C-alpha cells in the first residue's frame, strides 16, 4: 500500500489471506470433477424433516420480505424448548457468526484468549480478527484438557476461554458433571464459550441442564448438525440475561434470513424426526467404526456425527491416507495439530457413500504404505 490508498487497520493488514476450511466445492473446482462421497464436512446428509421442507416451500413466496430482526417467533420457541426466558436467548448466523459477535464483545488488541491447540479453527479466526492473542493448550488423551485450560486461564488472567463439548475434531466428550466442575472453577471474570454444536448427537449425561445459567457462561447450539440445516446458517446462544442484552447490541439484526427463521422454527417443532435422525447417526458411527477396524485402524469413541480414526502412525502417514481418499473422489478431512494429526475424520454419510469409503480406504492405505 502507498500513502495514496485507503488504510487498513493494523489488525487487518497483519492477517494472512487464509480461511479456516477449504470447502469441498473449492476442491472440486480445483480437481475439475465432483466427489463421489461427501463425508468430510460434518454435514447431516439425512437432511431436514419433511415438515421443515414443507414449511420452507410454503414460505418461499414471502422471501421478498425482510426477516424479523427480533427473531421473535424462533426466539420464543427456543426459550420454551430450553425452559428459559426469551431474555436468555439470542439467535444468530450459526455458531460461527455467534462466535464472531462473542469475540467482539470480549476481545481487544492483545487480549489473551485460551483455547485448545487443534480445536475449532473458526474461533481462532475470529480472535485474530479482533486482535486477540491466542493461548493454546494441548489435548490430553484426545480430549480438550479441562485442567490445562483452567491453568492457562489463571496464568494469563484471560477474560475468555473456548471449549467444545462434544469435541470437534476428535469426537470426544466430558460429562455434564465434569463440565459443571470446570465452570465452577473458572474465575468469575472469565467468560466460558461452551460450543455444544453436537449436543443433540451426544449420549445422555453430556449436556448440563439448560437452566444452569451463570453470568460467565455462554452456550452455543445450532440447526446445522442434527437438524440438517447447515446451508441456512442458523444457530443460537443462551446464557445470563445481562450478557445476552450486550450480545443484542453487537449482533447483525438482519443476519438470520427469513427462510432460516421459518426452517428453524419448524425443525424445533419436529422432535420426532430429530430422534430418528440421531438414531441413524449412531448407526452411521457404528458402520464407520466397523470399516476402520476391518482395515486394522482404531476408531475413537464419538458423541458427534463423525468418527475420528487413528491411522496408527504419524501425521505424515495420515496425510497420505487423506490424499489417497481424495484422489479416489472421497472427501474427508483430518485434524492438523501435532498429536491429533495421526488421525483422519469421517462424517456419517448415506449408505452408498459409506460403501464407497469401505471400498476405497484399503486402497488408500496400500498407497500410503508404499
* The pLDDT of residue 4 is above 90: no
Cβ partners under 8 Å of residue 220, min gap 6: 95, 98, 99, 193, 194, 195, 196, 197, 235, 236, 237
Contact 33, 329 (CB under 8 A): yes
Give pLDDT tens digits for 172-227: 999 999 999 999 999 999 999 999 999 999 999 999 999 999 999 999 999 999 99
What pLDDT does residue 278 have? 98
Q: What is the DSSP letter of 254?
A: T
* The pLDDT of residue 26 is above 70: yes
Cβ partners under 8 Å of residue 57, min gap 6: none
* The pLDDT of residue 19 is above 80: no
Give pLDDT tens digits for 307-334: 999 999 999 999 999 999 999 999 999 9
Contact 46, 227 (CB under 8 A): no
Helices and strands of the chain, counted as H and E runs: 13, 12
Give pLDDT tens digits for 55-102: 999 999 999 999 999 999 999 999 999 999 999 999 999 999 999 999
* The pLDDT of residue 53 is above 80: yes
pLDDT tier for residue 3 given thresholds of 50, 70 and 90: low
* The pLDDT of residue 1 is above 60: no
Q: In what order do the strands lie in the sheet with 306-310?
A: 298-299, 306-310, 343-347
Which class for 365: exposed (0-12), middle (13-18), buried (19 or more C-beta within 10 A)? buried
Q: Where are the beta strands (DSSP E) in 234-362?
A: 235-239, 298-299, 306-310, 330-331, 343-347
Q: What percent of the chain has pLDDT over 90?
A: 94
Is the backbone of residue 171 left (phi > 0), alpha (psi -120 to 50) or beta?
A: left
Q: What percent of the chain has pLDDT over 70?
A: 99
What pLDDT does residue 339 have? 96
Give pLDDT tens digits for 284-294: 999 999 999 99
What pLDDT does residue 76 have? 98
Q: Identify the CATH assignment for 21-47+272-369 out of 3.40.50.360, 3.40.1350.10, 3.90.1150.10, 1.10.357.10.
A: 3.90.1150.10
What pLDDT does residue 2 have? 59
Hey, what's the cell of 222?
Answer: 445450532
- For domain 50-269, the CATH class is alpha beta
- The residues spanned by each domain of the chain are 21-47+272-369, 50-269
What is the Cα–Cα distance from 206 to 103, expressed in whole angstroms? 25
pLDDT tier for residue 11 given thresholds of 50, 70 and 90: confident
How do 160-164 and 191-195 pair as beta strands? parallel
pLDDT tier for residue 18 given thresholds of 50, 70 and 90: confident
Total-model pTM: 0.96
Helices within 107-197 (DSSP H only): 121-129, 146-156, 176-185
Amino acid at each position: 500500500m502507498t500513502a495514496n490508498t485507503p488504510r487498513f487497520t493494523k489488525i487487518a493488514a497483519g492477517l494472512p489471506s487464509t480461511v479456516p476450511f477449504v470447502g469441498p466445492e473449492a476442491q472440486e473446482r480445483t480437481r475439475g470433477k465432483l466427489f463421489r462421497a461427501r463425508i468430510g464436512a460434518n454435514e447431516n446428509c439425512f437432511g431436514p424433516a419433511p415438515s421443515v421442507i414443507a414449511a420452507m416451500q410454503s414460505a418461499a413466496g414471502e422471501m421478498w420480505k425482510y426477516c424479523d430482526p427480533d427473531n421473535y417467533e424462533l426466539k420464543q420457541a427456543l426459550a420454551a424448548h430450553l425452559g428459559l426466558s426469551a431474555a436468555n436467548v439470542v439467535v444468530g448466523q450459526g455458531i460461527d457468526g455467534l462466535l464472531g459477535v462473542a469475540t467482539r464483545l470480549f476481545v481487544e488488541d492483545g487480549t489473551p484468549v485460551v483455547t485448545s491447540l487443534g480445536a475449532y479453527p473458526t474461533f481462532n479466526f475470529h480472535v485474530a480478527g479482533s486482535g486477540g492473542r491466542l493461548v493454546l493448550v494441548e489435548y490430553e488423551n484426545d480430549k480438550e484438557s479441562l485442567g490445562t485450560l483452567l491453568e492457562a486461564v489463571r496464568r494469563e488472567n484471560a477474560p475468555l476461554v473456548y471449549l467444545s463439548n462434544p469435541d470437534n475434531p476428535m469426537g470426544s466428550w466430558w460429562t455434564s458433571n465434569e463440565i459443571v466442575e470446570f465452570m465452577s472453577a473458572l474465575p468469575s471474570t472469565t467468560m466460558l464459550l461452551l460450543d455444544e454444536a453436537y449436543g443433540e448427537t451426544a449420549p445422555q449425561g453430556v449436556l448440563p441442564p439448560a437452566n444452569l445459567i451463570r453470568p460467565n457462561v455462554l452456550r452455543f447450539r445450532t440447526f446445522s448438525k442434527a437438524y440438517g440445516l447447515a446451508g441456512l446458517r442458523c444457530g443460537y446462544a443462551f446464557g445470563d440475561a445481562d450478557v445476552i442484552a450486550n450480545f443484542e447490541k453487537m449482533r447483525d439484526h438482519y443476519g438470520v434470513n427469513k427462510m432460516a427463521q421459518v426452517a428453524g422454527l419448524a425443525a424445533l417443532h419436529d422432535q420426532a424426526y430429530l430422534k430418528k435422525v440421531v438414531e441413524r447417526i449412531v448407526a452411521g458411527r457404528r458402520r464407520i467404526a466397523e470399516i476402520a477396524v476391518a482395515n486394522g485402524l482404531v476408531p475413537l469413541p464419538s458423541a458427534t456425527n463423525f468418527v475420528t480414526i487413528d491411522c496408527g502412525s504419524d501425521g505424515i502417514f495420515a496425510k497420505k491416507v487423506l490424499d489417497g481418499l481424495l484422489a479416489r473422489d472421497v472427501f474427508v478431512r483430518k485434524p492438523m495439530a501435532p498429536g491429533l494429526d495421526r488421525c483422519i475424520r469421517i462424517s456419517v454419510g448415506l449408505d452408498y457413500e459409506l460403501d464407497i469409503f469401505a471400498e476405497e480406504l484399503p486402497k488408500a492405505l496400500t498407497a500410503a504404505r508404499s
